[in-house]
Every structure is written in structure tokens, then in C-alpha cells.
Amino acid sequence: MRHGGWYQIAFASDLDSDLTTVCAGDRKLLCVRRESGFDVYDAVCPHRGADLAVGGKLDDGCVICPYHGHRIALGTDNGAEFKVRKYPSIAVGGLVFALIGDFEPGALPQMLNYLSLTHRIFPGFVKSIRIAPEMVIENAFDWAHFPPVHDVKKVTYGQPRIEDGVFTAELTLRVGPSMWQGTDDGTHHDDGNTWIEVPLLARAYGPCLTITQVAIGGGDHPHFVIAGAVPQKDGTSTVRLSVALPINDDGSAPTKDMADIILQFEGMGLEQDRPVWENLAVDARPRYTDEDSNVLAFRQWCNRYSLERMASGTHPATRLHARAEASSPEEREAWSDRAELVDRS
């Protein structure tokens, strides 16, 4: 697992037990069902490696390990001999997210809160694809792949930028009419001569999670696409994709029919990408051109979430936090503030 940051680790409908293990790269995460949602912890017993969800039982803030019966505290000592780490997590609209690594939560909590108040989130589908998760996410910024892979007639794109720590890029797709995007007169027939301009605003909240604003200010059916990819030990990525549709002007909820149409088109798009991804010569030395600038900028931005750099102490924020700990009480606050600025940049 190369990168930390926010991951969508599950749909809530998949977590039908009090204790469920989900995998993220070489990590096993324990999802604990609560009345208010879900909490996420390490799933491996620190005593001798048992999976705490497989036969474990909740008991007064602890899990009773199924292997030797030790009480394993969840996140805090709680008087137990062993404990497992708790991860920041969010459950909203049937989607469950966890923050991997010692990184700041950033702007994702506010974005998800906005969507929960103004939109209805429709949990979508899961696909397993043999590709690194970062490659799935960078697709949103790889404007040059849209015409050959997805039959987009023209792409207009801007330079990416970082807003509140979020990697952000705008582009406009020229596409033919379909059930997803209609013409001004409300028709959806593609006669081969009619084109629609669809603006996109893609935001990455981590190397493996994007929320893309689609058809806002142009095109039919404005919505958000929430796309997450999680690495697996076998070299595949588990890709989860959902949509959020705005609440109607009269306060009523949008219909599931349109969400299903959008999800169908998004699924078709991933299947168009699949044969390219699964047959990439990933070890080949690339020869980049100017059209790769947005992708290279995204990859550079991803480096701030490197778990290897964080563990080795070479991540800039890690060094600043360490300096803060070693400083006098008078200087500590200033060094901590600088570290937080790096975390958010």
C-alpha cells in the first residue's frame, strides 16, 4: 500500500454484522457497527495476529479475541492489556470512509456534509480491476484519454490547482446526446451531428478518492460522482462508484431511475478503461508529452500521502511534528502550526 489518505472502504450494506473485516492493501480494517454509524480499527489482534472480526465479540468497549480470549481495547487502553488503533472514519449516505496514515482530515468531511444536506447519495457498484488504485483516480485528470477510450469528440481543459489541500481540475467534454445528456429541446437521439458541452470539476481528496461535479452550469442532470479505489494484496483494486443527485426545488428527493442511468454510463466507462489498464506494461519507461502535464501534477501531489515517507520520517510534516516535540514549550506551538500548514498544503 503506497499511499495513505481517505479511502472508501465499504458500502454500509456490506457491513451487516457487528464486526466486519475489510481489506485495504496489506491492512485488515475492523468495522464496528454502532447505533450512530461505524467505527474503524485495526483488525489484527496485537497478541498473536487473529482476525478480531472472525469469531470475536464486542464487550464493553473491547473485543474478546477469538483465539486466546484476551480483551482487546478499541482505540483506548480501557484497562485492557492490548489495544488496536482507531482510524478517523465517516459514514454518510450508505458509504463508509476511513483515513489511513497520520494525515489531516482535510476538506472531505465538509464536502460529504454538504452533499448529505443538499443531495441524495445513491450507493452504486463495486468492480475489481487489475490496476493500481491511483491509476483509477488519475483518470479523472487524464484529459487526453477521453477521445480515444470514451469516444469524446473534444476536451477543453484547464491547469490543475490545489484548493484547501484538494487537487482540483476543470474540463469540458463534447459528447453526443444520450440518456445521460440530452439536447436543449429535450431529445436524446444521437444523429451524429449534434454535440453537447458537459463541464466537469474533478477533486481528489486523496490519491485514491475523487468527487467529481458533473454538468453543473451546462448539460443535463447535474450530479456528483464519488469514486474510490482500494488496493488489494493480489494486485487488483476494488473500485466503488456512487452518485449524488440534488434535492428537487420542492424539497422532494430525486428519483433512483436517473441515478441508475448515470451509474450505468459510469460502469460502461470503467469497462472501456479495463482492457487498457489490465494490459498496461506498467514497468515500461514512459516518454511523456505535454498532454501528460495534468497527470504528472497529480502524481506529484500524491507524494505527500506516501506512507513510506511518513514511516521513515522523510515526509516534511513528519519532520516538523518531530521538531515540535523536541522544542521548548514556548516554541512548540509555532512548530506545530507549521506542520499543520504542510499537512494541509
**What is the grid cell recorded at 161?**
490547482
Looking at the structure, do residues 326 and 249 belong to the same domain, yes or no? no
User: Does residue 308 form part of some domain?
Assistant: no
Nearest partner of 138 among 60, 232, 210, judged by Cα = 210
Looking at the structure, do residues 180 and 323 belong to the same domain, yes or no? no
199-204-206 Cα angle (round to 5): 170
CATH classification at residue 74: 2.102.10.10
Q: Which residue has the higher pLDDT, 82 or 321?
A: 82
Looking at the structure, do residues 33 and 153 belong to the same domain, yes or no? no
User: Does residue 332 form part of some domain?
Assistant: yes
Percentage of the chain lying above the pLDDT 70 cut:
84
Looking at the structure, do residues 230 and 252 belong to the same domain, yes or no? yes
Q: Which of 71-85, 130-144, 212-226, 290-304 has the least mean pLDDT?
A: 212-226
E strand intervals along 12-84: 19-24, 27-34, 37-42, 57-59, 62-64, 71-74, 82-84
Looking at the structure, do residues 230 and 273 belong to the same domain, yes or no? yes
How far out from the chain centre does Cα 325 lie? 31
Q: Give pLDDT, residue 320.
A: 55
Q: Give pLDDT, residue 345.
A: 46
Q: Give pLDDT, residue 331.
A: 61
β partners of residue 74: 84
> Final residue of a domain: which of 76, 100, 124?
100
Looking at the structure, do residues 201 and 321 belong to the same domain, yes or no? no
Looking at the structure, do residues 38 and 130 belong to the same domain, yes or no? no
**What is the grid cell recorded at 177?**
446526446
Write out pLDDT tens, residues 3-32.
999 999 999 999 999 999 999 999 999 999
- Residue 105 — pLDDT band, cuts 50, 70, 90? very high
**What is the grid cell recorded at 260?**
441508475
Q: Give pLDDT, residue 80.
A: 83
Assess whether pLDDT exceeds 80 at residue 186. Answer: no
Percentage of the chain lying above the pLDDT 90 cut:
73
Assess whether pLDDT exceeds 60 at residue 303. Answer: yes
Assess whether pLDDT exceeds 90 at residue 179. Answer: no
User: Does residue 304 form part of some domain?
Assistant: no
What's the chain's average pLDDT?
88
Question: How many residues can be counted in the chain?
Answer: 345
What's the CA gap between 44 and 67, in Å, rounded? 11
Average pLDDT over residues 77-83: 84
Q: Which residue has the higher pLDDT, 267 or 173?
A: 267
Looking at the structure, do residues 94 and 128 belong to the same domain, yes or no? no
Place of cell 479511502: 7
What's the CA gap between 147 and 144, in Å, rounded? 7
Looking at the structure, do residues 154 and 258 belong to the same domain, yes or no? yes
Contacts of 150 (CB under 8 A, 6+ apart): 269, 272
Query: What's the Cα-to-Cα distance from 285 to each of 93, 280, 281, 282, 288, rounded to whole Å?
Result: 42, 12, 9, 8, 9
Q: Which amino acid is at 182?
A: G
User: Does residue 107 form part of some domain?
Assistant: no
User: Does residue 36 form part of some domain?
Assistant: yes
- Residue 233 — pLDDT band, cuts 50, 70, 90? very high
Average pLDDT over residues 100-120: 96
Average pLDDT over residues 72-88: 90
Check: CB of residue 100 under 8 Å from CB of residue 2. Answer: no
Q: Give pLDDT, residue 35.
A: 86
The number of domains in the chain is 3
Q: Which of 68-77, 103-112, 214-223, 272-281 has the least mean pLDDT?
A: 214-223
> Final residue of a domain: which of 35, 67, 100?
100
Looking at the structure, do residues 320 and 274 belong to the same domain, yes or no? no
User: Does residue 291 form part of some domain?
Assistant: yes
**What is the grid cell recorded at 195?**
454535440
Q: Which of 26-40, 97-111, 121-135, 163-177 has the least mean pLDDT?
A: 163-177
Q: Are strands 82-84 and 71-74 parallel, antiparallel or unpaired?
A: parallel
User: Does residue 306 form part of some domain?
Assistant: no
Boundaries of domain holding 138: 112-299
Q: In 10 A of CB 271, how many CB atoms?
A: 11
Q: Give pLDDT, residue 317.
A: 59
What b/e sequence results for 189-223 when a residue is b if at least 16 CB atoms lie within 10 Å of its CB, and e otherwise? eeeeeebbebbbbbbbbbbbbbbbbbbeeebbbbb
DSSP state of 329: H
- Residue 220 — pLDDT band, cuts 50, 70, 90? low
What's the CA gap between 291 and 147, in Å, rounded? 13
β partners of residue 210: 204, 227
Looking at the structure, do residues 123 and 190 belong to the same domain, yes or no? yes
What's the CA gap between 200 and 173, in Å, rounded? 8
What angle in degrees, to the nearest 10, is found between the helix axes of 316-326 and 329-344? 170
- What is the number of H-type helices and E-type strands within the chain? 8, 19
- Residue 175 — pLDDT band, cuts 50, 70, 90? confident
User: Does residue 307 form part of some domain?
Assistant: no
Looking at the structure, do residues 46 and 127 belong to the same domain, yes or no? no
> Final residue of a domain: which of 72, 100, 128?
100
What's the CA gap between 211 and 202, in Å, rounded? 6
